Chain A
Amino acid sequence: MDLDLSEEQQMIIDTTRAVLGEHSTSEVVRLMEDDPKGVAEELWKQLSEVGFNGLLIPESYGGGGMTLLEAAFFYEELGRFMAPVPHFVSCVMSAGVLLEAGSKAQKETWLPKIADGSAILTTAWYEPGRGQGEAGVALEAVSSGDGFVLSGVKRSVPYAAVADQLVVLARTADGVDLFLVDPTSEGLTLTFHQSQGREPHYRIDFDGVQVPAENRIGAAGSGWATWNTVMHDGIILQAASAVGGADRCLMETVEYANQRVQFDKPLGAFQALAHYMADASTKIDGGRVLVHEAAWNRVQGRSVARFAPMAKLFCAETYRETTRVCAQIWGGVAFTIEYDVQMFFRRAKHLQLSWWDTPYLEELVAADVLDR
């Protein structure tokens, strides 16, 4: 047993921090909050150049061929710096879906471009009034001629305005299928809607959108299985990102608590507040090991059916609760736009609700524990 980082892993962390420290400053993050495109261009360019966009993509497709463990280190930093980039939807989820089930042509077309940042793919999954499970996928894909016709509504599609291609979950006669859809297709309308974490989201109306048959990803009816597999990787990274966000928010709060004086003492000298911070630090450190253990198990080829949802369940709640107590410690200023703590506070809850929420994750864990 050892928790030491290899030199390479440490380098990933250091490089990421250097890039994000320069290009994902509070000013940049704030600027992107109201931008309908929402991509910090210089940051995105730098991440591609350093090779982080292709982190999880094999070298044969122009990627770095690293493992989920390295990605977890990287994601903790993305969370720490609230990086406004479409990395997750493009380089993790879309790339993951293609790697898992894509045809040779699909992979060859898109993976190198995802890896070098020249293309952005996003995922169209959530639907109005529907849940995050398989049954939630209702958008219809009707087979017609040598293709499909898609009709229905997706919501909360991240970064759709800059996407070169959408990975759409749709319901076919065979079950759930995944499709690559060109966002400029006829019958497809994007409408911007703002999200709590200020990730630019879009409602997409599909009104008889034609999709060629070769754009289906994987065998007929295999869409949910593919999505489910990739999501198990994805939520480990979401958990890592939560750890980073919580850690940074706590560290900034500790600094503030050492400076701000009331009743002739720094706030940190009030035990009620110090204990909030001690609790938060314990959960953050515990959450981080859980993320690493989940990612490590994945790399060993062991099942993460339980570890992955546990990691996201715990870390997302830790992030949320940490930002709640941090806001409490900052006092009134936390409520103002001017201070950064609100940015973490909003992102934490957004993260918890996204990419499988608490009830869904609890059920995944419960099913693995009780029903097997």
Chain B
Amino acid sequence: MNFDFSPEEQKFAEEVDQWLTENHDPVVMDHHRENFTQLADTPERRAFMKKLAAQGWLGMSWPKEYGGQEIEGVYEYILNEALSKHAAPQIGKGVGIIGKTLIRHGSDKLKDEFLPKVLHADIEFAVGYSEPEAGSDAANMQLKAEKVDGGWNLNGQKMWTTSAHFADWYWVGARTDPDKSKHAGLSLFLIPMDHPGLEVQSLPTIGKDTTNQVFFEDVFVPDDYLVGERGKGFQYISEALDLERFTMFTLSPIANRTDVLVDWVKAAQRDDAPLKNDPNVRRTIAQIVTDTAVAKGLSTRFVCAAKDGGGKPPTIPSSQYKLFTTSLSQRVCKDALDITGHEGTIMEGQDEAPLRGRFEGAYRATMNETVGGGSSEIQKNIIARRHLGLPKNF
């Protein structure tokens, strides 16, 4: 048993941290963007990703033949935690979902076309699974893909496609085989985001940024751009989701909020007395700090299970981590606002607000964490059935 990173891992963590400190850029790194910090959505952030690529930090866990270094996934975890700690964009969908799926299942053509671009940060993706009728029940996608000469013709609608308004390529699940079962009738496609048949409509959120709905009208996709085998789409999506759960909800932003709150409480005064002497505040801080330590423990479990699993996805530790950590994330914001008191109502970005409204904004931004990426209820269903062996309960 060992709770420290190995000396090599530790060295890498320090190297990344130092590099990020040296390359600090307030335009690129902004904690106030909360969960949207992970996206490379502006020219400045894309330039930053190119710098990361130049460091050799993209695709580290990929096989050497695809330009990776074949090192353990824990290095990507360390990198993402450091990036999110600094509120920088993260290595996300390209390296994880799309890259790893293509490496496992993609044709040579798709590998040759996309993998180098991912490694060099020349490409940003949007991921389109969710639809009006396919939320938690992701396999219920209805987007129609009809076989036509030389390819597929797609019609229908996607919901919640984050990044669609700036991405270059679209990773899309569609129903190719309506006669087959719900899960066996889906396939994955790669579509250029500027395809004339796609219409992206912004869906503003109460967080800092926007997500989108995307309408498909006779979107032709050549045969070559169906990923892997026809009908295997849902299998590929499930494989990749285990990874996404982990990289989407890094612990650092939550640990960072706890630290920021603690530092603020240490210095704050109310009615001319130190706020930290308020017994309610002390209790709340103790609970938050403790739960943050538990979240870290659950992430340690996840990392270790991933290491030991030999590539087998650590589904249960990942579900437990996601379940606990996202609700903690909301609780920290709620408690922080309770501690700041009525001044907490002053909206983010104004100097009068405690911490410039960091927690007012975070309170809004974290609302979706217990829904996106597999809701808390879905995680509990997974734990109940696959970990505890309880009967199917929905």
Contacts and interface: CB of A to CB of B under 8 A. Distances in A.
A277 B389 CA distance: 11
Interface string A1-39: 111111001000000000000000000000000000000
A219 interface: no
A268 B391 contact: yes
B5 A1 contact: yes
Contacts of A365: 285-286, 289-290
Interface string B273-294: 0001000001101110111011
Interface in A248-285: 254, 257-258, 265-266, 268-271, 274-275, 277-279, 281-283, 285
B290 A314 contact: yes
Contact of A363 (B2, B282, B297, B377): B282
Contacts of A271: 377, 381, 393-394
B262 A370 contact: yes
Among B74, B282, B290, B323: residue with most chain A CB under 10 A: B290
Interface in B134-149: none
Contacts of A287: 294
Contacts of B266: 370
A370 B394 CA distance: 45
B371 interface: no
Nearest to A282: B320
A370 B2 contact: no
B380 interface: yes
B265 interface: yes
Contact of A286 (B265, B283, B294, B387): B294
A370 B276 contact: yes
Nearest to B265: A370
A366 interface: yes
B359 to A, nearest CB: 18
B332 to A, nearest CB: 14
Contact of A310 (B1, B289, B300, B391): B289
Contacts of B394: 271
B86 to A, nearest CB: 21
B324 interface: yes
A275 B390 CA distance: 10
A275 B289 contact: no
Given A254-B390, A310-B289, A296 B300 contact: no
A371 B289 CA distance: 14
A297 B282 CA distance: 24
Nearest to A270: B393
Nearest to A318: B294
Contacts of A289: 294, 297-298, 300-301
Given A4-B308, A266-B391, A277-B390, A286 B320 contact: yes
Nearest to A3: B304
Contacts of B294: 283, 286-287, 289-290, 314
A113 interface: no
A313 to B, nearest CB: 5
A372 to B, nearest CB: 10
A170 to B, nearest CB: 29
B384 interface: yes
A270 B392 CA distance: 9
Given A289-B297, A365-B286, A283 B324 contact: yes
B272 interface: no
B390 A257 contact: yes
Contacts of A105: none
Contacts of A4: 1, 304, 308
Contacts of A270: 393
Among B6, B266, B287, B388: residue with most chain A CB under 10 A: B388
Nearest to B301: A289
A370 B388 contact: no
A362 interface: yes
A153 interface: no
Contacts of B381: 271, 274, 278
Contacts of B289: 306, 310, 365, 369
Nearest to B298: A286
A69 B2 CA distance: 11
Given A2-B1, A254-B388, A297-B3, A310 B285 contact: no
B192 to A, nearest CB: 41
A293 interface: yes
A279 to B, nearest CB: 7
A307 interface: yes
Contacts of B385: 274
25 contacts: A1-B9, A3-B301, A254-B389, A258-B391, A268-B391, A269-B390, A274-B385, A278-B379, A278-B387, A285-B317, A286-B294, A286-B298, A289-B298, A290-B293, A313-B287, A359-B283, A361-B286, A362-B282, A363-B282, A366-B282, A366-B283, A366-B286, A369-B286, A369-B289, A370-B276
Given A285-B301, A361-B286, 11 more contacts: A1-B6, A5-B1, A269-B391, A274-B385, A277-B388, A279-B323, A283-B294, A286-B297, A362-B287, A366-B285, A369-B286
Top 4 closest pairs, chain A to chain B, by CB = A289-B297, A268-B390, A366-B282, A278-B380
